[in-house]
Structure 1
Amino acid sequence: MMAAPLLAVSRAANGRRPALRLPLTVALSLAIIAIVIAWSLAPGLFTGYDPVGGVPAHKLLGPSAAHWFGTDHLGRDLYARVVYGTASSVTSALLAVIIGVFAGGLIGLLAGFLGGFVDVVLARLVDILLAIPRFLLAVIIVTALGFDTTNTAIATGVSAVAVFARVMRSEVIKTRQATFVEAAFLQGGSRWHVLLRHVLPNASRSVLALAVLQFGLSILVIASLAFLGYGDPPPASDWGLLIATGKDYLRWPWLVYAPALVTVAAVLSLNRISRWLRRTD
């Protein structure tokens, strides 16, 4: 008699086990992002070289045990410059995501929940933003604000507002039609109480995966803007600026490959984590 319940419990446990298993690619992606975050928080723990001052006699040395990523045309350790440039790249991308989440999320929340004239006006605003290529919109905004990393972050965040607004609006509309939301209204809950207590927590789940994905895209956009000269000037060591400087010395390819591979690894890792979050949602 006891065998059947125990067998059922065992089967149920075995059925849940794959959902709890972390894929190898996701674990590797999380490890890469952990390293990137550690670089941005405490770069001095990972290198003893000065990212600004170099030794002219050591210029353009190839990767070695002493200089993992080689040295640049001024004798500066390239690994140290990549590590110290991580803080600027990560912080500016995080600021861009925060702007996109809060501004876009608020627009989508109000449009989806209030509906009517508010939805029409805000939806048309989102359509206008979506009609403009995001990178072009970022270039226009940063040109108007001025060339530095903070302004590139603001420009990147504004260019992402429409994406977050559209996703949040669709999730709010779907959640608003749920039975538990109708029950909350029938129990006497006010519109704002239902919005903040029931609709917002449930509608914001999909925004997390989008925010992780946008974090990676923001790193890529900000690096592209820095590559074009819209970021901080030298001796800053933003990843995009390092790639732009290295392209003038293609005879020494590690000057381009090292910061480019770090950038690509970070972006692809965030992309993989975002896909995993969408599947587990």
Structure 2
Amino acid sequence: MSGEELLQGTAPHSVRGGHRHPWRAPGLLLPLAFVVLLGFAVCAPHWFTALEPDAVDTGTILLPPGPSHWFGTDQLGRDLFSRVVYGTSQSLSIGIGATLVACIGGILLGTAAALAPAAISRPLVRVIDILLAFPELLLALLVIAVLGRGPMNTLLAVGLSSIAGYARLVRSQVLQVKLSGYVEHAVTLGEHPWSVITRHIVPNTTRPLLILATIGVGGSVLSASSLSFLGLGVVPPAAEWGALLADGRNFLDIAPWVSLLPATVVAVSVIAITLLGRRLQTLLARGDVP
């Protein structure tokens, strides 16, 4: 077996049966199609709507959904559908950026906690355990309290609050990989420790982590939206999904669509991203991911 197969605990393709078209399963195609649609909304929002997201029209305040305004309008007469479409870029950018920060921090912290001498690794493990004891949203609120509001600060708050979870995963993977035969073989041949870490341990640790990070993007989007809903994330009038939910909370009795439809988009997006990540995780476990 190769080192990656040893890490995954799966058999080579020659002994696996049956899954000739794993990428055609509905459990993967449906969420993948929706994620691709989100990607188009990020790259070319004008394909979906010709209306400007910040255009105020006092003559169309709180209009219900209809042919002219698919999602209705908000308290300033702005088209909600265009705001949701244009807000996709900011929400996904924060989610992906926060996950990237969490992954990089988790790789560094988890690898150090697994490979450093005991005098260093033990305190690091205790730090990871302490951070895991706190809810991620609470940690994000603490970071926001220090850094302040804004898209970049929201990204950092969500990313930093998620590092401990990734660090625990990385540490457990590194502890398994460093005992594998190909790592022991490299050490026996006298390969430099840094070379062993960078060429053998880290690559075989991060591959499954990157699949799991797909699930983390959905969680990061939800956390960022939660911060914005609480008024501690992206500053209005930015068309970020959580801010859109916050805009409509005072009008739920007379115009529920102002919050309900953006909330539906957030929920479906997070579910699609999470399902895609879990499906990729299943394919990885079976060895169908190249």
TM-score normalised to the size of structure 2? 0.88
Match of 1:91 in 2: 93
Give runs of aligned pairs for residues 1-281 of structure 1, distance below 5 A.
15-18=17-20, 20-250=22-252, 251-281=254-284
1:239–1:263 contact (8 Å) kept in structure 2 = yes
Q: Cα deviation per residue 1:217-261 (whole Å; 9 max; x = unaligned)?
A: 010000000000012332211111111111111121211111101
Q: Is the 8 A contact 1:59 1:76 kept in 2?
A: yes
Whether the aligned pair in 1 keeps the contact of 2:214 and 2:276 (CA below 8 Å) is yes
Once residues 233 and 14 of structure 1 are traced to their aligned partners in structure 2, the CA distance between those partners, rounded to angstroms, is: 52
Q: Is the 8 A contact 2:72 2:81 kept in 1?
A: yes
Structure 2 unpaired stretches of 5+: 1-13, 285-290
Q: How far apart are the structure 2 equivalents of 1:195 and 1:13?
A: 30
Q: Distance in 1 between matches of 2:18 and 2:112?
A: 37
Long gaps (5+) in structure 1: 1-11
Structure 1 residues 42-92: Cα deviation after superposition (integer angstroms, max 9, x where no partner): 222221101111322222222122211111122111000011111111111
In 1: Cα distance, 2:248 partner to 2:25 partner: 35
**Conserved? CA contact 1:113–1:195, under 8 Å:** no
Amino acid at match of 1:198: H
Report which stretch shifted further, 119-128 or 162-171: 119-128
Cα deviation, 1:17-39, whole Å, max 9, x if unaligned, reads 35634321321111111111221
Q: Matched residues in 1 for 2:117 and 2:37: separation?
A: 44
Q: Quick one: which amino acid aligns to residue 270 of structure 1? A: I
Count residues with an aligned counterpart: 270
Q: TM-score under structure 1 normalisation? A: 0.91
Letter in structure 1 aligned against 2:39? I
CA distance in 1, matches of 2:23, 2:161: 36
* Whole-angstrom CA distance in 2 between matches of 1:252 and 1:25: 35
Q: State how far apart, in whole Å, the 1-side matches of 2:120 and 2:110 are.
A: 10
Give SS of 1:160's match. helix
SS of equivalent to 1:233 = coil
Classify the secondary structure of the residue corresponding to 1:211.
helix
Deviations 1:157-193 (A, max 9, x none): 0100101100000000000000111011111211111
| Larger RCO, structure (CA 8 Å, separation 6 or more) | 2
CA RMSD of aligned residues (A): 1.7
Question: Structure 1's 196 and 224: CA in aligned 2 closer, same or farther, altered over 3 A?
Answer: same
